[in-house]
Structure 1
């Protein structure tokens, strides 16, 4: 969940204190935009993929975050091939965006289970210390697995990248290998320097 700006004025009434007559919302440090796309069976071109990408909503407070989260389909309810992209406002969930161009992503792929509701918690509880380094997150659902990825602004700061990877792993509480891949490698066909960092 995005970071909250602290407020200490006692005259504020929050939704937690009074869900009907509250007079203030809890602002986030950044505005966030939720995007959605429903991938097809065939690998789309960059142009058709971009046309299929839909900007759903932008929010900048805790209350609006919960309003969005509680009123969209949960991850385990999405059709196979669907993707949610939650990115800072002004950053498109594309390698070509200037904020993403020199970065990479931490990725973990999880096989689907019969219940498969834990994936909703994984999506919800992903938080980070180096928020300025985070561009966004992508949740993908496929026939046999779900994949969650955290996109970073840079890939050359090993200590920061690995710290984000460890925080990602700790937040999800999954005992699996998490792998980092630079976008510049992911966009190439053929052999590349896969999994630059592993935690």
Structure 2
């Protein structure tokens, strides 16, 4: 009887074990109400384990279920998903553009990119700030980097990202300041 309780206790400990992530991440939502842009940006929660991310994933709408004008962001804790944040001022983003009608592709790409980022599966992780999905007629998923002057690192990030995505889409590297396309893959 005592052994059964010991085994049950050990099993409960195993069930409660969580898998830590290298970084703590914040999950943001852009609500697109009539307020000022920065007031529409809401940090919903933070997470630092695999299990906590999946809990968020299963309790939020997929990007394709969001109304036009809304969006999500997953950024390293302490970095706001806005160009004006000091971590983003000199940066840019690898941008994928999808037609809103391709809902399954949008949802899968969002999931893949978030998992790639939080799982630290890209080179030069210190250069990566986070990922944003914007819901428009043409939806955009963007991986934000901290400094465009680190060209070799940014290109390696883009190549590896494209290699890991489940579909063949064109990636464009854009500057936050000018929104011009600097490089395409």
Structure 1 and Structure 2 fold alike (TM over 0.5): yes
Whose helix proportion is higher, 1 or 2?
A: 2
| CA distance in structure 2 between the partners assigned to 1:63 and 1:174 by the alignment | 26
**1:75–1:20 distance in 2 versus 1, CA, 3 Å:** farther
1:165 aligns with 2:158: yes
Secondary structure, counterpart of 1:106 in structure 2: strand
**1:20–1:72 distance in 2 versus 1, CA, 3 Å:** farther
**1:173–1:38 distance in 2 versus 1, CA, 3 Å:** same
Secondary structure, counterpart of 1:108 in structure 2: strand
Aligned counterpart in structure 2 of residue 109 of structure 1, from 97, 109, 117: 97
Structure-2 residue corresponding to 1:5: none
Structure-1 residue corresponding to 2:112: 125
**1:148–1:81 distance in 2 versus 1, CA, 3 Å:** same
Unaligned runs of 5+ in 1: 1-17, 187-193
Structure 1 stretches of 4+ with a deviation exceeding 6 A read: none
User: Looking at both structures, which has the greater relative contact order when contacts are Cα pairs under 8 Å and sequence separation is at least 6?
Assistant: 2
Q: Rg bigger for which structure? A: 2
1:38: how far off? 2.4
| CA distance in structure 2 between the partners assigned to 1:132 and 1:166 by the alignment | 16
Structure-1 residue corresponding to 2:66: 78
Unaligned runs of 5+ in 2: 1-10, 117-121
1:139 aligns with 2:139: no
CA displacement, residues 76-109 of structure 1 (integer Å, 9 cap, x when unaligned): 1111111101100000011111111111111111
1:130: how far off? 2.2
Coordinate RMSD, CA, aligned:
2.0
TM-score, normalised to structure 1, is 0.77
1:32: how far off? 0.4
Aligned counterpart in structure 2 of residue 54 of structure 1, from 39, 42, 45: 42
Q: Is the 8 A contact 2:100 2:135 kept in 1?
A: no
Structure-2 residue corresponding to 1:196: 182
Alignment length (residue pairs): 168
TM-score, normalised to structure 2, is 0.83
1:184: how far off? 2.2
| CA distance in structure 1 between the partners assigned to 2:98 and 2:25 by the alignment | 25
**1:122–1:19 distance in 2 versus 1, CA, 3 Å:** farther
